[in-house]
């Protein structure tokens, strides 16, 4: 799965091919957030987009015979079409920007041709009810080794246009959903979302108050009013606020990886870095630190918890209550507010999550995080004697779940000089990130010079 960027903020051009773990680095203001937020926006668009799949002849046959067979469209072409519509109409909405902010920009998702063959192995059956009080329904089925979709229309007592709309919506979801992953984003503004989401709800109430004014003041323009009251935040930030707002409902569910005890190694590492647990109640979110000997149990409301605790809450919520194998998890600056030792632990946690089958995209400024990832890549080398590896695991509290093979990692740098995205080499020694190496060497050289002057 490859994303191609043109004229997106600071970035003139570049490509990001997703790995199991994708790392995006760069100096400040080089467009890392543009990349991660654009990927999230396009994946969301693909998950919800309605495209025309059924032609008029198929609809005619559906009404006359009650059944039709529709050839599945070329998936690569379908995704290209969704990408064009996203770039032309929705990209600006992802960033909540002005109408012409991205008029020359585009983000394109390219999928492997194998997706068309894979769809032939995709077996699914779904029923779409066409109205709460209606017996009309669509029954849609795919079969193994058939590159087509069988559709039945039961009790056709609704309009043709409504049937076509519902069928295109269902087929779009069915076909794109066969390979477009669910996505979850955690932005660098997450600590604010964790603290102020209740205050942000006041904006929604303000909107309702203003709408009520329309009843008494006929001169108010409702469309102008809604434009003024529109959220100032980008789609990913709004998604984080929504995650916080509905956390109590979300917390009633258990994620796939939480249910599967084979993945307990993820939650052991999560508990290690969080240092406790979270309680999501009607009146808010509370942090419960691990009780220490001779100390009372404490429950802290989120606004009294540390910045690191706030920063980790959405990751905890996702892993325990949302995560599905095959997801794409996007995290801006996962190291935010974390001490260097916690950043190392976080790197181990990220690798463990990847090893469950969830893809992760991170943007980062952290050399501590990157160096730990490189160590975990090197630990996967077949050249290491098994006894030596086990001894190292024992001494450093690691396990095989903390290792990741180099071919599973992709790394990129947004260049401040070329305004392009450059792919970095990843091999058995890890990610070759010259950007950090240069800065570390400069800092070391300066430290040596000053040391000798002082001594």
Helix axes 190-216, 222-229, angle to 10 degrees: 160
Q: Which residues contact 354 (CB under 8 A, 6 or more apart)?
A: 20, 21, 360, 404, 408
Helices marked H in 145-189: 160-176
Helix axes 160-176, 56-65, angle to 10 degrees: 110
- Paired with 152 in beta bridges are 67, 139
**Residue 38 to residue 109: CA distance in whole angstroms:** 11
- pLDDT attached to residue 14: 94
Examine residue 347 and state whether it is found in any structural domain, yes or no. no
Domain of residue 210 covers 186-239
Mean pLDDT of 233-237: 87
- pLDDT attached to residue 215: 57
Query: Across the chain, what does the average pLDDT equal?
Result: 86
Q: Which of 255, 110, 234, 124 is nearest to 180 (CA)?
A: 110
Examine residue 297 and state whether it is found in any structural domain, yes or no. no
Q: Name which residue leads in pLDDT, 214 or 348.
A: 348
**Residue 274 to residue 313: CA distance in whole angstroms:** 9
Q: Name which residue leads in pLDDT, 57 or 51.
A: 57
Examine residue 201 and state whether it is found in any structural domain, yes or no. yes
CB 141 within 8 A of CB 150: yes
How many separate domains does the chain show?
A: 1
Share of the chain above pLDDT 90, in %: 45
**Residue 432 to residue 412: CA distance in whole angstroms:** 10
What is the pLDDT confidence band of residue 208, given thresholds at 50, 70 and 90?
low
**Residue 36 to residue 40: CA distance in whole angstroms:** 6
CA 40 to chain centre: 6
Examine residue 218 and state whether it is found in any structural domain, yes or no. yes
What is the pLDDT confidence band of residue 229, given thresholds at 50, 70 and 90?
very low
Examine residue 46 and state whether it is found in any structural domain, yes or no. no
Examine residue 213 and state whether it is found in any structural domain, yes or no. yes
Examine residue 375 and state whether it is found in any structural domain, yes or no. no
- pLDDT attached to residue 205: 47
Mean pLDDT of 240-256: 91
Residue 80 clears pLDDT 80, i.e. is over it: yes
- pLDDT attached to residue 207: 53
What is the pLDDT confidence band of residue 96, given thresholds at 50, 70 and 90?
confident
- HEC string of 186-238 equals ECCCHHHHHHHHHHHHHHHHHHHHHHHHHHHCCCCCHHHHHHHHCCCCCHHHH
Radius of gyration of the chain from Cα atoms?
A: 25
**Residue 416 to residue 14: CA distance in whole angstroms:** 13
Q: Which residues contact 169 (CB under 8 A, 6 or more apart)?
A: 50
Q: Which residues contact 367 (CB under 8 A, 6 or more apart)?
A: 436, 439, 440
Examine residue 195 and state whether it is found in any structural domain, yes or no. yes
């Amino acid at each position: 799965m490859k994303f191609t960027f043109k004229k997106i903020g600071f970035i003139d051009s570049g490509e990001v091919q997703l790995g199991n773990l994708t790392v995006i680095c760069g100096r400040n203001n080089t467009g890392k957030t543009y990349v991660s937020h654009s990927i999230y926006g396009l994946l969301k668009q693909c998950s919800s987009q309605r495209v025309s799949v059924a032609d008029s002849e198929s609809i005619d046959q559906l009404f006359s015979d009650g059944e039709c067979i529709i050839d599945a469209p070329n998936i690569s072409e379908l995704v290209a079409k969704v990408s064009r519509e996203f770039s032309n109409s929705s990209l600006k909405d992802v960033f909540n920007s002005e109408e012409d902010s991205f008029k020359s920009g585009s983000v394109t998702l390219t999928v492997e041709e194998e997706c068309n063959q894979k769809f032939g192995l995709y077996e699914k059956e779904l029923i779409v009810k066409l109205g709460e009080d209606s017996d009309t329904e669509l029954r849609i089925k795919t079969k193994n080794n058939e590159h087509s979709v069988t559709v039945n229309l039961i009790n056709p007592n609704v309009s043709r246009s409504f049937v076509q709309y519902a069928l295109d919506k269902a087929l779009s979801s069915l076909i794109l959903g066969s390979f477009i992953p669910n996505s979850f984003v955690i932005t660098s503004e997450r600590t604010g979302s964790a603290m102020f989401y209740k205050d942000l709800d006041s904006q929604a109430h303000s909107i309702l108050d203003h709408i009520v004014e329309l009843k008494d003041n006929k001169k108010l323009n409702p469309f102008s009013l809604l434009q003024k009251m529109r959220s100032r935040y980008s789609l990913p930030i709004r998604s984080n606020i929504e995650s916080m707002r509905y956390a109590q409902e979300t917390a009633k569910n258990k994620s796939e990886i939480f249910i599967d005890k084979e993945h307990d190694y993820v939650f052991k590492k999560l508990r290690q870095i969080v240092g406790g647990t979270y309680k999501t109640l009607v009146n808010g979110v509370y942090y419960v630190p691990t009780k220490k000997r001779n100390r009372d149990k404490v429950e802290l409301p989120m606004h009294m918890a540390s910045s690191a605790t706030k920063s980790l809450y959405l990751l905890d919520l996702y892993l325990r209550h949302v995560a599905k194998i095959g997801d794409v998890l996007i995290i801006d600056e996962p190291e935010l507010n974390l001490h260097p030792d916690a950043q190392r632990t976080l790197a181990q946690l990220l690798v463990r999550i990847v090893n469950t089958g969830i893809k992760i995209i991170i943007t980062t400024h952290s050399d501590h995080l990157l160096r730990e990832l490189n160590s975990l890549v090197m630990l996967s080398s077949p050249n290491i004697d098994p006894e030596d590896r086990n001894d190292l695991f024992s001494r450093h509290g690691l396990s095989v779940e903390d290792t990741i093979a180099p071919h599973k990692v992709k790394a990129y740098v947004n260049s401040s000089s070329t305004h392009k995205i450059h792919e970095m080499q990843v091999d058995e020694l890890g990610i070759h990130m010259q950007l950090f190496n240069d800065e570390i060497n400069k800092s070391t050289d300066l430290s040596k010079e000053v040391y000798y002057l002082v001594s």
